[in-house]
Structure 1
Amino acid sequence: MIITNPGRYLEIGGRPAVRFERIYDHPVERVWRMVADPAELARWFPAPKITIDPVPGGAITFSGDPAMPEATSSGRVIDVDPPRRLAFSWGGDELHFDLEPLDGGRTRFVLTNVLEARDTAARNAAGWDVCLAALDALAEDRPAEQPAWQPAYDGYVAAGLPSGAPIPGRD
C-alpha cells in the first residue's frame, strides 16, 4: 500500500522548497535502489539518461528529458549515506531523497526539492507529481500511468503555491 500525499510548500534555511512523502511496502534497501541506481532512477525521474558518481562531490548528469530533448544538465552529489540519504544539486536546485525504515519491512520516502527560485514551486510540484506516479508504479510492479501535468499545476496554483516560472517546452 502506498500513502500518497500532494507536495507541500515550505522554506528550509530561508530557501523555498516542495516536499513529498510516500510509504512503500518494500525494505529500505529496495527503495534505495529505486533512488540511487541510475537504471532504476531513470524509470521515474524526469531525465531518462542518468550517471552518478555516488560520493560527496561526485558528478551527476541528466539528459533525454522529453520536454527538453537537447538539454544535458549536471550537478554534484551533496550527501550520500546508503541506504538512507542521497542529496544532489541540479541546476540551482537541490534534491534530497531521505529514506526511513519502518516496521513490517516498509520504508518512508521523502523527496525535498529545495528551489533556486520561489516562483518554480507550483511548476516543480506538478512535475514531481508526474514523476512520483511513475515511482509509485515501479514500487507496485505495475505499468506507469502518466497523470496530466496541467491539472496538477493548476491545483498547486489554486492551493497558493508560488508560480509564474517559465515552463520548459511550453514557454
Structure 2
Amino acid sequence: MATSTIVRVQRAYDCTAEAVYDAWLDPQLARRFWFATSTGEVIRCTIEPNVNGRFTIVDRRRLEAGPDTEMDVEHTGRFLQLDRPRRIAFSFGLPQFQSHETTVIVDIEPQGDGCLLTLRHDLGPADEEATEMLERAEGGWTTVLENLEKTLKGQ
C-alpha cells in the first residue's frame, strides 16, 4: 500500500467550536479566509453546506510578473462529512493545476472557552508531485487558519 503525503496544521482559537465550524460554511465569512491571499481577493464564493454539497471559491491573485498581471485560481470540492461542531471533511481540487481531487479533514476540539482546530490534507501517494506540493500546501493552510482567526475577531 502506498504511503500518503499528509499536511497537518493546527491553531487554537479564543472562540467556541461552533463559531469556528460555522465560519467554514458561511460564504460571507468563508470568502474572507478560505484561500484569501495578501495580494489578491476572493471574487466568488459559493457553498452548499450539506453532505455532498459543493463549494467553489475563486481568488484573483496578482502574479510576480507585474502589478497588472492577475490570475483567477478556482478551488472546488464536495463536503464528505459534516458533524457540527467537531468535523468537516471535504474533497478538494484545483482544476487548473491537477487532474485529481484530494481530501481535507478539519477537526475542531472544544477546549475551555476556546477550541483547537487540526487540519489534515491528504495530498495522495508520496510521489514527486506530492512532495513538491507539501511545502506550498502547508504554507497555504497556515495562512487560511491565520485569516480565519482575523475573520473571527472581526478584522
In the alignment, which of 116, 126, 150 is matched to residue 108 of structure 1?
116
1:148 corresponds in structure 2 to none
Q: Indicate how the Cα distance of structure 1 residues 22 and 71 shifts in structure 2: closer, same or farther if over 3 A, else same.
A: closer
* Greater share of residues in strand: 2
Q: Which moved more, 1:66-75 or 1:30-39?
A: 66-75
CA-CA distance at 1:118 after TM superposition: 3.0
Q: Which moved more, 1:19-28 or 1:31-40?
A: 31-40
Task: Kindly indicate whether residue 145 of structure 2 is the aligned counterpart of residue 132 of structure 1.
Answer: yes
TM-score by length of 1: 0.66
CA-CA distance at 1:80 after TM superposition: 0.8
User: Is the CA contact 2:108–2:117 (under 8 Å) kept in the aligned structure 1?
Assistant: yes
CA-CA distance at 1:128 after TM superposition: 2.1
Q: Secondary structure at the match of 1:42?
A: helix
The answer for unaligned runs of 5 or more in structure 1 is: 1-12, 143-171
Moved beyond 6 Å, runs of 4+: none
2:47 corresponds in structure 1 to 52
Q: Indicate how the Cα distance of structure 1 residues 118 and 24 shifts in structure 2: closer, same or farther if over 3 A, else same.
A: same
Total equivalences in the alignment: 129
Cα distance in 2, alignment partners of residues 115 and 24 from structure 1: 26
Equivalent residues in 2 for 1:13-162 (5 A)?
14-46=3-35, 48=42, 49-66=44-61, 69-91=71-93, 92-103=101-112, 105-116=113-124, 117-142=130-155
TM-score by length of 2: 0.72
The answer for unaligned runs of 5 or more in structure 2 is: 37-41, 63-69, 94-100, 125-129
**Cα RMSD (Å) of the superposition?**
2.1
CA-CA distance at 1:35 after TM superposition: 1.9
Cα distance in 2, alignment partners of residues 70 and 124 from structure 1: 18
Q: Which is bigger in relative contact order (C-alpha 8 A, separation at least 6)?
A: 2
Identity level (%):
29
Amino acid at match of 1:64: D
1:154 corresponds in structure 2 to none
